[in-house]
Structure formats: structure tokens, C-alpha cells
Structure 1
Amino acid sequence: MNMHTNFYELISESQRKVLRLIGTAASVLSVNSYLVGGSVRDLIMGVKIRDIDISVESINVREFCEFMETSFGAQILRFSEFGTCKLTLGGEIVDVAMTRSETYEPQGSLPTVKYADIDMDLARRDFSINSMAVPILPSELGSIIDPNQGLEDIRREVIRVLHPRSFVDDSTRIFRAVRYSVRLEFELENETNELLMNSVQDIGNISGTRTLNEIIRICHEPQAGNMLKKLNSVGVFKAIHPKFVLPSYFEGNWNDDCKEAWSDVEICCLLLFDSDMEYWESIAHSMDMPKAVLKALTGLEIMKNLGEQKRNSDIYQSLISVPQEALNVGIKCLDKTKSAEVKFFRDNLKGRHLSITGDDLISLGVEPGPLVGHLLDQVFAALLNGDVQGRDSELEFVKSLIA
């Protein structure tokens, strides 16, 4: 693989200005700042970066970011409990972290972090290709710091963990290993692959929320379908829940359809579509899916059990309670007949409404009460079925009902 070392060819002018300001801030504060992680990896591989990932050494992140705010007009977006900060500067997004070490007690939990130097910071990272740093100086970038042979692994096109307990400490790295492998077209290094296979069973040690976040992140990747199939091939979905079946939908469509910007709720419904409906709720709970997903799954079950509908009003009554997200998924995944009915409902029936109101019926002599609603329901059914159209036609229909 050809590797780039002249990073400024790949960095925009606004990014250069931001890096110079970061380097200046570090110099004024007498600390070290580094471009790190995926930013360095992508630049080495000739890929332009969107966000800027930096680590600062020998200083509290809050102090550094507040200095950037008061001195250079940075806008702080948020701090996290792990000693990180997201800010914007010169139109660029910058993720700032302190150089740190991490421990995982118990295994699979979120890490406990404490200050460390840059070498220890790079040693805690997930893969060698993400464990490089470049010093940010006031006027330039320094030489690549590569204590874990990340450059060599990029040249070899392999994904390699940094220690044997990597997947045990944090099983989300299983998802990331597959994601990087497919995205970069790299192979898992032999020992890394063996460690991954032996650690799949430990996925249950991480929270359902973290598991779901990793899957959703994958589902927004251009090669999401291939990533999901690879996860399935190593047994990840069965490890999450024994009845979790990757839908056949992902076999051919997802790499293209992921460009449609599915919502998280829709992605959850798509993921569960081929699993036995009897287990939908327990699978959803195993990944801490939000309540909106459970509601959408109820709608999906309605659509899966949809019988042949003779009239538009029958279709409407069957589907009016189904959330929009479930409708969108049903159109993509149901058989052609049911998909066509759902699409017709979504596009032609769901937004229909009467021109008349209860007051119009009362003015025709209908007594206020339940009968008003009953008559309006009949008129609305007639509207859906094409028997009436417009206010005058609706009023004439009411008159025929009360004559």
C-alpha cells in the first residue's frame, strides 16, 4: 500500500489553521499536543479527514479547551466523564482528549481512566493502525510516533490488537475490528482473528446499549451489508441472543439502501425482521432498544399478519396505528402484495381527512353525541373508498344517511 507522509496535501486550509492554533496553545501552556488515532491512520492512507482528533499531555482537558475558547474563540460543545471534549474552531470539529490509560473492571464495563503519557495512551488503543500520533507544533506537524508498528500493519494491510486481553476487556472492539476490516479491505492478523473468535461469547458482558450503538454505527457505513454479514459469520448475533437472525434483506440490498439515511428505530426493525416474532421483545431488550422500537415492532407484526384487504377503508383501519418507521420498513421487506398495500396506505390514504366537521352535521339536524362521530366515520370510509369527494359530496352523503 502507498503511504502518505506529506499530510498537508490532505488537510484543508481551515484544518491547517486550527492545527496551528492548537500547536500555539500547547506551546503557550508548555504542554504537548498530538494528532492521534483515526486521523493519523487516514492521513497515512491518503484519506482526507473530517474531524480532528487530538490528545493533550500534562494538562487537564477542561483547562486546555477553556484556553482555546478564551484565546481563539473556540466553541465548547460538551465535556465527557472520560476526560474528553468536543469543540468547534474555525468551522472544524475537534475532539480533544487527555493522554490516558484505561482499566476495565469488571471486564466489558466502561473504562476507568487516569492520566498517562503519550506512549501509554497509544498502548491502550484498540488496534495498531489506530495507535500512532503526530506532534502538533505551532507552525508544522512533527514526525510520526509509532511505538506499536502501526505503519507496518498498514503496509501489510492487517488489523492487529495490541495485547491478548483486548477483546476481553472491551468486546465492542469485535465490532470495530470487523468494521475496519471491511471498510479498509484489511485482513484480521492471524492471532487477532483467533482472539476475536474466542471472545465472541463474551459480548454479553457489555451493555445492550453499547452493543446496539456499535451495530447502528455499522449500519451507517457504505459497506454495512458486508460488515453485518461478517459479524454474523463469526457468531456475533447468536451471542447477543440465540434467536437473533440476521435478515436476508441484508444479503443484497443494504449497501445501497444505507444511503437512504434510515433512522435508528427503522434500523432496529430491519435487524429484527427475520427473527421469530415470538422473540422480538426479548431480543430488543437484550440490546436496550428504546420504547419507540417496541411500538414499531408491534406495527411490523400487524403488517406481517395483514390479510387481503378488499377496500381502502379496510386497509386504513388495519394500518392507521402503525408508526411511520414500521411502515417504511414494511415497504422494503414485506412480500410484494403486502408491500404494495402498505405503500398505498402510506402515500395515498394516511394523510386523508374530511372537509366537513361535526358542526356541519349538527347544522343538518343531527343531535350532538356519539351519533356525530359514527356518521363522520362512515363519511370518511366513503371518502377513502372513492364514493365521495369534496365538501358538497360529503354533505350529500350525510343527508342520505340521516334521511
Structure 2
Amino acid sequence: MTNLKPQLGPKPLDLFQRIGSLADAMDVRVYVVGGFVRDLLLGKSVMDIDLMVEGSAVDLAQQTAKIYKVTASAESQFGTVALELMDGFRLDFATCRKETYTKPAALPDVARGTLEEDLLRRDFTINSMALPINGVSAYELIALSGAEEDLKRGLIRAHHAQSFRDDPCRILRGLRFQNRLNFRWEPDSEGWMRDALEQKMPGQLSGVRFWNEFKLAFTEDNAVGCLHLFRKEGLIAYLASEITDSETGWEALGRVGSCLDEGSVVDFPYLYLLALTSHLSEETLKEIAGRLQWNRQLKNRLSADSHTIEERLGRLQDASALSDWDIHQVFDALSPEALACVFARFNDNRVFAWYGAYCKNRSRARIELTGNDLALMGVAAGPVFAAILKGLRRARFEGVVNSREDEARWVREHYLSS
């Protein structure tokens, strides 16, 4: 048997030895399973660790939380408990289980099971391996028949013909592995996957389940390649046909990674989503958000940035007439993601020169008066505050006012003279 202890780094080995000792004291067996084992064999480092327990996963998780002085999450509907450790490891504890599906695309019925049953319920053979971390066989690899060989050969193999009908999320996962690991499909499994696509099985998933699986593509190192693979296989249509059919978003997606302002802190998953959707109408965005049940924060953020991008692109259309102040208004107060999308969608090298001019001149628009100052001057609270501050910034930018006293005089002349 393959002993993987020598391949473990000092931090995961120390972690596993501590958890293994706790499991020994509780007289239960615990195994590291899934992606950590797969990536360990591939020589990759992973911080997310799934632990399968032959016994009470909740009790072992709570004991682990005590020694690491962290709080265990509430038990999920599938009996899993999560811990976030201070050194970056995320642990998910679960009791060995088996699953049955009463109908396609439904959540499974779950019951306690054996380790073998737990490995068989997993999506692909390359994820059906376990590493015991206590007992006499600690660190000796356990792999279902053919699993280790499939990993060596770079094959994505499902366990049975109904796999993608039972859980169409496995289609998206398999394509992510194809993109991330550069693996190929085992022929029978590819046939089963394509049958499920032809039967439109992803459309039977709830919007929440589809989005929760789909959005993981945005976190991939090669997210753009993964999204193009999803498009090729027809999965983008389950977001919106407008995204599949329009080249505007796909062209922006292809360019946006090279359009980032140097030194900016970027939310890359959000950047890719914004690049694909910023050209869509407000009505289409609302329809997608409702169907996929996006949270309010994401809906509002996408709506605001998309509106701003369209408005700024509109200003750039008559490029010959842009004044320094026009250029300032195009680029001012853009999020890093929206700025990159403006660059990507305008697709004209002049935009970088204009942005350079904006960066050089933006300090000219800094003002000293605040909303509190306006209130003290007797300006009634309301939308007029924003109009006054915008007017002051332009007056500063164009040299009409040059000091705090000038700003106060400008406000009195334009808004308080009557």
C-alpha cells in the first residue's frame, strides 16, 4: 500500500496527528478524503480539508475546536461541521454516509454508511480516495478500484451511468476538473455527461444550487478558460441566453485581466461576472438575480457598477470633444472592477492615455468643505448637498476656487445669495 506520510508537510502532519490522537481517545476512526488526497498525490498544496469519521463527526469537531480555540459551525443538514483555523486551514467534519436519490436533480436522502459507501457516493473516482490518520493503517492510502490509476492517467470517471442525472452539479464539477487539471473524460463517463446535457438536466436544478456550483468557476486560476468551456457545453444558457449569444461580454472577459490598474485590489470572481454581464439591461439582470436568488449585496453592486460602466462608456463615445473635466468625470469614483471593464469594453488604446491624464490631474478636484460645513453654513439637508459638492469639485479643478475661503464664498454666491 502507498504510505503518504512522507508527502505531508509539517503543518498538515501536525494537524492530522492532533486530530488522530483525539479520535483515538474517542475510539473512532477518522480519514482525510476527497480533494486533499487527490491534490496531495498531484503534488499540490490545499488548505481545505474534508474529514470523514466512522463515529460522531460532531463530537470530534467540537473536541478539535477546543484544542485550537476556535468555534465550530452549526451542524448542517447533512451532518457536517466546519472549523476555520487561525493558520488558514478550513476543516469540514462529516460522519460516513450513503446517499440515495428519489428523483433526478433532487437533494439526496442521507443515512449513516461505511467508508466504502461514502467513497462511492462521490462524484468521480479521482475524489474517491481516503487517508486514515489514526489506527494501525494511518497514512496508508485507501482508494476504490481504479481510482489511483485514473488519477495517474488523468481521467475523469463517474461511478455509474445515472451519476449526472442524480446530481447535474457533477457536470459543472467535471468540467472544472477538466479545465483545472487538464484531465480528459473517460469515454463512458463523457457519454453519460453528454446524455444528461442533451436531456437538459442542469435545468432541473434549483436556481440556488445551480448558481452555488456555477460561481465556483469564477474562483478557478484559469477562470476565463473554465467559463469558455461552460459556454461550449451550453451551461451559460442556464444563466441567461443573452450572455451566451452576445459577444460583448465575452470580448470584455477576454481582455479584462490585462486591463487592471497597477496596484489595485481586485475581487477577481466579481470582476469576471461583471465583465460578462455589465452590458445587460437592468431588466435582464433583475430576472437573473431573482432566478438564481442572488443576495441583495451582489444585486445592488452589479446593478450600480453596470449602470456606471454604461454611463462612462457613453461619455467616451465623442472622444474628440473630451475636456480635462470630462476625462475626470469618466474615471472618477470607479471601483477597480468597473474601471477594468471600461478599459476592456472601450477597447481603444487612447483610453489608457486619458486615464493617465486623469491620474495626473485628479488632485485638482480635491475640496476642503464637507457636508457638515454646508449644514453649518445654513444649507438645508437633501440632494442639494451632492450637487454643491460636485460643483465645488469642478470649480476647484478648473481653478475658479483655490482655498477653503474661496469654496465658502462660491457656495454663498451660488446657493445662499437669495
Question: Which bin holds the TM-score, normalised by the shorter protein?
Answer: 0.7 to 0.9
Partners of 2:99 and 2:178 in 1: how far apart? 24
1:76 aligned onto 2:53: no
The one-letter amino acid paired with 2:299 is K
1:244 aligned onto 2:243: yes
Which has the larger displacement, 341-350 or 74-83?
Answer: 341-350
1:266 aligned onto 2:265: no
Partners of 2:43 and 2:84 in 1: how far apart? 24
1:301 aligned onto 2:280: no
The 5-angstrom pairing of residues 235-384 of structure 1 reads 235-245=234-244, 247-251=250-254, 254=257, 261-262=266-267, 264-273=269-278, 279-289=284-294, 290-292=298-300, 293-306=302-315, 307-308=317-318, 310-311=322-323, 313=325, 325-336=337-348, 349=362, 352-356=365-369, 378-384=391-397
Partners of 2:72 and 2:83 in 1: how far apart? 5
Match of 2:17 in 1: 20
Which has the larger displacement, 170-179 or 341-350?
Answer: 341-350
**Change beyond 3 A, Cα 1:360–1:161:** closer
Partners of 2:40 and 2:378 in 1: how far apart? 75
Q: Is the 8 A contact 1:224 1:254 kept in 2?
A: no
Query: Residue 397 of structure 1: CA displacement?
Result: 5.4
SS in 1 for 2:105: coil
Match of 1:215 in 2: 214
Which has the larger displacement, 148-157 or 352-361?
Answer: 352-361
The one-letter amino acid paired with 1:266 is L
1:102 aligned onto 2:114: no
Q: Is the 8 A contact 1:333 1:339 kept in 2?
A: no
SS in 2 for 1:247: helix
Q: Report how many aligned residue pairs link the two structures.
A: 394
Match of 2:177 in 1: 180
Query: Residue 132 of structure 1: CA displacement?
Result: 1.0
Query: Residue 174 of structure 1: CA displacement?
Result: 1.6
Q: Is the 8 A contact 1:35 1:133 kept in 2?
A: yes
Partners of 1:61 and 1:362 in 2: how far apart? 59
Q: Is the 8 A contact 2:242 2:280 kept in 1?
A: yes
Query: Residue 182 of structure 1: CA displacement?
Result: 1.8
Q: Is the 8 A contact 2:255 2:344 kept in 1?
A: no
The one-letter amino acid paired with 2:304 is K
Match of 1:203 in 2: 202
Match of 2:402 in 1: 389
TM-score, structure 2 as length reference: 0.78
Partners of 2:411 and 2:18 in 1: how far apart? 73
SS in 1 for 2:98: strand
Gapped regions of structure 1 (runs ≥ 5):
none
The one-letter amino acid paired with 1:291 is K
Q: Deviations over 1:257-278 (max 9, x none)?
A: 7x96425543321222465777
Q: Is the 8 A contact 2:256 2:341 kept in 1?
A: no
Partners of 1:138 and 1:252 in 2: how far apart? 53
Query: Residue 31 of structure 1: CA displacement?
Result: 1.9
Q: Deviations over 1:83-102 (max 9, x none)?
A: 11122568443221111122
The one-letter amino acid paired with 1:381 is R
**Change beyond 3 A, Cα 1:313–1:138:** same
Query: Residue 50 of structure 1: CA displacement?
Result: 2.4
Partners of 1:357 and 1:61 in 2: how far apart? 56
Partners of 1:255 and 1:224 in 2: how far apart? 14
Partners of 1:110 and 1:352 in 2: how far apart? 56
Overall identity of the aligned pairs, in %: 26
**Change beyond 3 A, Cα 1:362–1:9:** closer
The one-letter amino acid paired with 1:98 is T
Q: Deviations over 1:110-134 (max 9, x none)?
A: 3332211111101100000001112
Partners of 1:367 and 1:101 in 2: how far apart? 70
Match of 1:52 in 2: 49
TM-score, structure 1 as length reference: 0.81
Query: Residue 344 of structure 1: CA displacement?
Result: 6.6
Partners of 2:250 and 2:313 in 1: how far apart? 14
Query: Residue 393 of structure 1: CA displacement?
Result: 4.5
Q: Deviations over 1:105-164 (max 9, x none)?
A: 443233332211111101100000001112222587243222242111112211011111
Partners of 2:22 and 2:128 in 1: how far apart? 24
What root-mean-square deviation, in Å, do the aligned CA atoms of Structure 1 and Structure 2 show? 3.9
Match of 1:162 in 2: 159
**Change beyond 3 A, Cα 1:353–1:186:** same
